[in-house]
Structure 1
Amino acid sequence: MTTTADPSIALARTRRHWWWHYEVPTLLLAAALYAAWAALLWWHAALPGWALFLAGGFLAQLHFSLQHESIHAMRHLPKWLRHAVVWPPLNLWLPYPFYNRGHSSHHVNFHLTHPERDNESAYHSAPAWAGYGPVWRWIYMANQTIAFRVVLGPFLRLWKLVRFETAQVLSGNFSRLPTWLWHALSVAPVLYYVTVVCGMGFGEYLLYFVYPGMMLGSLRTFTEHRWADTPHERVAIVESNLVFGLLYLFNNLHHVHHRAPTMPWYEIPVYFRRHRAAVLAANGNFYYRGYGEIVRRHLFRPVFTPVHPTW
């Protein structure tokens, strides 16, 4: 990664108790997450659907946030342990190794928002846009609104994944198949617990856990990045409440994360409060006061035209 960390951050983190050195709060959070997930499934029949939808989606997205944490932080743990902590595929659909490799390239400054080199970019190159038909242009433009991105965006994301993986196989590239095999083997015990031990149907798990988790993930990433001349001005700050902060492990304060990717999640809000003015100056005041503001401004209005201005 070429993201440059603030030197004051590195200096402040040289003096650590073992509790912080080994990021024990993250390990405890992971243990609490798996316990809550298991308990929610065990007693799912006693809860109304709306409660399952909210709680299941929260836990599914929190697990995805932990996977993101393991990519960047927990550096004093062995790599195998760092990955094992978040390996169980509670969200079912995305193999962790693919997310790990793809997201790492996202943090290269030059690649940020690039429609081809940044696989998390919502932009399209001008030549690609010119080649789309009117239906796909409408879909990609609608995907720049909260209403579409949160409700239908998960299906668009799955379609892009299936299209990409199918293209790899049809082109003769079978190198990704072993990862998919390991992923299937990892999914099996998760679904065994869900369907056999707890008696929840597969479709119910998709509805009450996987889909709302993807919806919440779509909300977080909706306007994290925009094109700007300097990399730091491409990264947003969404100053939200504690519920969303925990849900996203404070990755909503996204500019801080890009400045210091290895900073543990529980240090991010502390750093932001202490250096608020400098952070907002560095990112060109690319700032939202919570997700409510984003919804009000972009429920049906595109956040930006998804044609990259320079590529």
Structure 2
Amino acid sequence: MTRKPQDTAPRNGGIGIEWPTMAIATLIYGGWLALTWWHAALPTPVIVVAGGWLVAWHGSLQHETIHGHPTRWRVVNAAIGAVPLSLWLPYGLYRDSHVAHHRSPHITDPLDDPESRYVASSRGVRHVAARVQATLLGRLLFGPFLAVLALVADEGRRLARQPGRVARDWLPHLALVMPIVAWLEWTGFGTLRYLLLVVYPGLSLTLLRSFAEHRANLPGPSRAATVERAGPLGLLYLNNHLHTAHHDRPDLAWYRLPAHQRRHHARLSAQAGRAHRSYGEIVRRFALAPHDALVHPGRQDRR
């Protein structure tokens, strides 16, 4: 996460505000406040489902703001997305990593794409972590914990090389985390309980989306796959299940992606290779089976 590319997403042309995205942001933040305020009246399963949904939905909203939505003003978009409901990941790190992912000329290559799930070698800690998450069940159960560990390790190394940049990314994040933690403690929800019941399942939902959205042997330059029917998860992921379409037009707002997918279905399908029919299909195929090889095919001869 040491690369610092600039976000070049268009500023929405002549559109001042994208109201569908603003409505989603209002639902997320309003729902979060309601859930944490009235948590004592809610059964634990409701808290897990609703809280996990809201945190995952918020991650989808952050993704929209990184791509220049819902306004033409970068500072407003960042203000909408930077509230750290998940607590653990600074918005700036996510933004820089995701922009680098889109700009990578070799998407899925772990030495060039910071969001790659592949590893460069069959040895070491990273390979062990990838093996644990090779199946969908392993990714959902252990992926959130391993993602936080990976962030700690990466940021520890970066701190030794670039302490100023680490401070620039983390100090604003911690300043925003503090009032959230204070709110959780004041309402009696509790930070640890929030991490276990809300953040962890929310990150698992996000990892379900990203589990099969890229593969090194797909024909298109983005190596992106498509899930044709997402059901309610399409709203949760803000149509990012149409991942080939998103990489084709990363500037499009989430609610415009389905129309783009329909208009260019043949071309995008050729780029995506075999599309997944649904997330149900992904669960059936990969719950206990690996989605792909762990070592990137371009790195196998360098092991």
TM-score, structure 1 length as denominator? 0.87
CA drift of 1:63 comes to 0.5
Give 3-state SS (helix, strand or coil) of 1:297's partner: helix
CA drift of 1:233 comes to 6.3
Q: Is residue 80 of structure 1 aligned with residue 75 of structure 2?
A: yes
Counterpart for residue 210 of structure 1: 199
Instruction: Name which of 56, 62, 78 aligns with 2:51.
Output: 56
CA drift of 1:172 comes to 6.0
Give 3-state SS (helix, strand or coil) of 2:229's partner: coil
Q: Is residue 117 of structure 1 aligned with residue 117 of structure 2?
A: no
CA drift of 1:283 comes to 2.1
RMSD of Structure 2 on Structure 1 (CA) = 2.2
Asked whether the 8 Å contact 2:239–2:254 carries over to 1, the reply is yes
How many pairs align? 291
Instruction: Name which of 204, 212, 216 aligns with 1:227.
Output: 216
Partner Cα distance (2:40, 2:70) in 1? 40
Asked whether the 8 Å contact 1:141–1:305 carries over to 2, the reply is no
Partner Cα distance (2:192, 2:232) in 1? 27
Q: Aligned in 2, Cα 1:29/1:137: closer, same or farther, shift over 3 Å?
A: closer
Counterpart for residue 150 of structure 1: 140
Instruction: Select the structure with the greater relative contact order (CA < 8 A; seq sep ≥ 6).
Output: 1
Partner Cα distance (2:223, 2:33) in 1? 38
Q: Is residue 295 of structure 1 aligned with residue 283 of structure 2?
A: yes
Partner Cα distance (2:229, 2:188) in 1? 36
Q: Give unpaired runs (5+ residues) of structure 1.
A: none
Give 3-state SS (helix, strand or coil) of 2:105's partner: helix
Counterpart for residue 164 of structure 1: 154
Asked whether the 8 Å contact 1:168–1:174 carries over to 2, the reply is no
Q: Aligned in 2, Cα 1:237/1:172: closer, same or farther, shift over 3 Å?
A: closer
Asked whether the 8 Å contact 1:144–1:306 carries over to 2, the reply is yes
Equivalent residue letter for 1:132 = G
Q: Aligned in 2, Cα 1:28/1:218: closer, same or farther, shift over 3 Å?
A: same
Give 3-state SS (helix, strand or coil) of 1:239's partner: strand
CA drift of 1:222 comes to 0.4
TM-score, structure 2 length as denominator? 0.89
Query: Where does structure 1 differ by over 6 angstroms across 4 or more consecutive aligned residues?
Result: none
Query: Which shifted more, 207-216 or 250-259?
Result: 207-216
CA drift of 1:282 comes to 2.7
Give 3-state SS (helix, strand or coil) of 2:217's partner: coil
Query: Which shifted more, 251-260 or 174-183?
Result: 174-183
Q: Is residue 195 of structure 1 aligned with residue 185 of structure 2?
A: yes
Q: What percentage of residue pairs aligned between the two structures are identical?
A: 39
Give 3-state SS (helix, strand or coil) of 2:50's partner: helix
Asked whether the 8 Å contact 2:132–2:142 carries over to 1, the reply is no
CA drift of 1:76 comes to 4.8
Asked whether the 8 Å contact 2:108–2:214 carries over to 1, the reply is yes
Asked whether the 8 Å contact 2:224–2:243 carries over to 1, the reply is yes
